[in-house]
Structure 1
Amino acid sequence: MNKQELVDAVAAKTYDSKVATGETIDAVIAAITGELTKGKTVQLIGFGSFSTGARAARVGRNPATGAEIQIPAAKTVKFTAGKAFKDAVNGA
């Protein structure tokens, strides 16, 4: 499912326009992104939580040439599924 298909599905469930639903989904994504950018965690009870982590700098290898390269440290985004979400996916 891509974003447009998600907008269509949510609009059909809520009987709202696709434009309004698209704006709402964009606002939710922007709010989650904003909180994660600040280093905070977003918890959606029954669905899961989004958080950030840190990846240390390390030495990698270029697969084409075999030369070593430095890979800089980076922030990562983590998603942990909630129990209700896991149960729904597993058919419990």
Structure 2
Amino acid sequence: MNTSELIEQIAETTDRSKAEVKQILEAVLDAITVAAKKGEDVSLTGFGKFSVRHLAARTGRNPATGERIEIAASRKLAFAAGKTVKDALVLPEKPVKKTTAEKKASVPKSAARRRA
């Protein structure tokens, strides 16, 4: 889903115009960006938490030449999903396949007699 599809879906769900939803979404994203620039975390209860992670300076390698390069320290925005999101992403368990012995054991006796 891209930004315009998200805006469209929110507009349909909230019965608001796309222009209004776009303006609100941009304000939310700007607020998260401003907080991140300050090094603050943004927690959205049930959804997740945006936090700034500090990466130390390190030595890397240029994949094309194999030459060592110095990578400067930096910050990155990380997201950790909340419980509601994690629970929504859980896949249903696949049924476990029965072994041949279990299949024979689960066949009713009357059906087993008909086979013989």
> What pairs up with 1:30-41 in 2 under 5 angstroms?
30-41=30-41
Q: Residue in 1 aligned with 2:107?
A: none
Amino acid in structure 2 at the alignment position of 1:22 = K
Deviations 1:40-83 (A, max 9, x none): 11000010000101101111111111111111000011111101
* Structure with larger Rg: 2
Query: Counterpart of 2:65 in 1: which secondary structure?
Result: coil
1:5 lines up with 2:5 in the alignment: yes
Distance in 2 between residues matched to 1:15 and 1:78, nearest whole Å? 32
- The two structures, once aligned, show a CA RMSD in angstroms of 1.2
> Which one has more relative contact order, counting CA pairs under 8 Å at least 6 apart?
1
CA distance, structure 2, for counterparts of residue 84 and residue 37 of structure 1: 27
| 1:25 aligns to 2:18 (yes or no) | no
Task: Name 1:90's counterpart in structure 2.
Answer: 90
Distance 1:38 1:30 in 2: 12
In the superposition, the TM-score normalised over structure 1's length comes to 0.95
Which residue in the other structure is 2:16 paired with? Answer: 16
- AA aligned opposite 1:29: L
Counterpart for residue 67 of structure 1: 67
Aligned length: 92
Where 1:39 maps in the other structure, the secondary structure is coil
TM-score by length of 2: 0.76
